[in-house]
Structure formats: structure tokens, C-alpha cells
């Protein structure tokens, strides 16, 4: 039985022996294995192209959903309009954002999942099930994790997550100091931001201070 990010016992629906082996690898070996992963290849619209960035030096972990098509094409995490808004919320430059001395960037799904009826499909669950715990083990200096969107919040917060993303974000103080919860900064969320002006007025200034 493993520990979840809150230090609670939890059982993940994947092979524990495989997870233990991954945890024993060096960070560079783990990265190579992730880059070579074809676990959900049959369900992807393009050949697998895992996109992530992590380092043992990082103090902040950013966990989003899955790469969009622009990120898939460039191979650079958050290299799109969503990333521009996220960096504005955080008040950091691109140079700072991509410096692993400060930030590790690990999505819930490493590859572009394809288009759905209303935007991109959800991240494939296989990625977090197999890789997230071994990656967390390689981040000894992590002080806080930004949980962006419902999928990251569900995986990390588990039963502590509220019924809706809006309620989870409204209760952001409950998850400090280990987690800072955020809605996804996608332009598709403009309607949500307009309906919830308190987010940019109250939470974004707090995020910038961190």
C-alpha cells in the first residue's frame, strides 16, 4: 500500500511491483521510461509524445490536465494561450516558468488526448496511475503543488475535493500550505471567470505572492 500526497494510505489501480521498480530508478532513467511510454497509444490521435518537465531542485510543482494540440506540436509544456494566462496569474516570466530550479511541470496526462465534442478530451488516466507517484518521489524539495483543473484536484485531494471545481477553488484555504487549487486558465474558461470575478480579485493576488 502506498501513500497519497496527503500521507494517507491509498491503493492505485496499477501494478504495485511496477511502481516500486519505477521508484528505484534515477530521475534520468524515469524520464527516459516516460518518454518511451506507449501505454495508451491505441487511444491517442497521434503517436505518443509525452510532454513534461521535472527536477529534484524544484520547489513548486505544477499539475495540469493534458497537453493541447499546440503543446503537442511544440513539445513545450504550457506553450499556448493557457500558459500565457497561467504565467500572468503567477506573475512569472517564461524564463522563470521553464527553469526547473523553480518549477516542475507534470500534467495528469502526458500526451494530447484528442478532440471531444466541447474541447479536448480528458487526460488519459493511465499516466497518473503509472507515473505520478514515482515522479513525486523525485521531488524532495517540493513545497507546494498547483492543482490546475478538476482532474489534478481529484487525484491529489481525493475525498477532500468538493463536489464541484468552483466549490473546491472557493475553499482554497483548506488545502494550504501543500496545495493551491486553480481553475484551468484556458480561454474556454472565460465564461467561468466572468461568473466568478472573486477568483481574479481574491485568489490571483495570493498566488502571485507565492
Number of domain units in the chain: 1
CATH number of residue 121's parent domain: 3.40.470.10
This prediction has a pTM of 0.89
| Residue 143 grid coordinates | 513545497
Residue appearing with cell numbers 503517436: 47
Q: Is the peptide bond before 106 cis (omega within 30 degrees of 0)?
A: no
Question: pLDDT digits over 32-52, tens only?
Answer: 999 999 999 999 999 999 999
Give the three cell numbers for residue 175. 488545502
Give the mean model confidence (pLDDT) for residues 172-193.
97
C-alpha cell at 209: 505572492
Residue 65, domain extent: 2-209
pLDDT at position 210: 77
Amino acid at each position: 500500500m502506498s501513500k497519497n500526497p496527503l500521507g494517507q494510505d491509498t491503493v492505485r489501480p496499477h501494478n504495485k511491483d511496477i511502481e516500486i521498480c519505477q521508484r528505484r530508478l534515477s530521475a534520468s532513467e524515469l524520464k527516459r521510461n516516460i518518454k518511451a511510454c506507449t501505454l495508451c497509444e491505441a487511444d491517442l490521435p497521434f503517436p505518443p509524445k509525452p510532454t513534461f518537465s521535472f527536477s529534484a531542485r524544484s520547489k513548486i510543482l505544477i499539475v495540469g490536465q493534458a497537453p493541447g494540440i499546440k503543446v503537442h506540436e511544440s513539445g513545450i509544456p504550457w506553450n499556448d494561450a493557457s500558459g500565457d494566462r497561467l504565467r500572468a496569474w503567477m506573475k512569472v516570466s517564461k524564463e522563470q516558468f521553464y527553469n526547473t530550479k523553480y518549477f516542475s511541470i507534470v500534467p495528469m496526462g502526458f500526451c494530447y488526448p484528442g478532440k471531444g465534442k466541447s474541447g479536448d478530451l480528458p487526460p488519459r488516466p493511465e499516466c497518473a496511475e503509472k507515473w505520478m507517484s514515482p515522479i513525486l518521489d523525485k521531488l524532495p524539495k517540493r513545497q507546494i503543488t498547483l492543482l490546475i483543473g478538476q482532474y489534478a484536484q481529484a487525484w491529489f485531494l481525493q475525498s477532500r475535493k468538493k463536489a464541484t471545481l468552483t466549490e473546491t477553488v472557493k475553499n482554497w484555504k483548506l488545502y494550504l500550505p501543500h496545495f493551491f487549487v486553480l481553475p484551468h486558465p484556458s480561454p474556454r474558461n472565460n465564461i467561468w471567470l466572468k461568473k466568478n470575478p472573486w477568483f481574479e480579485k481574491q485568489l490571483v493576488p495570493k498566488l502571485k505572492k507565492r
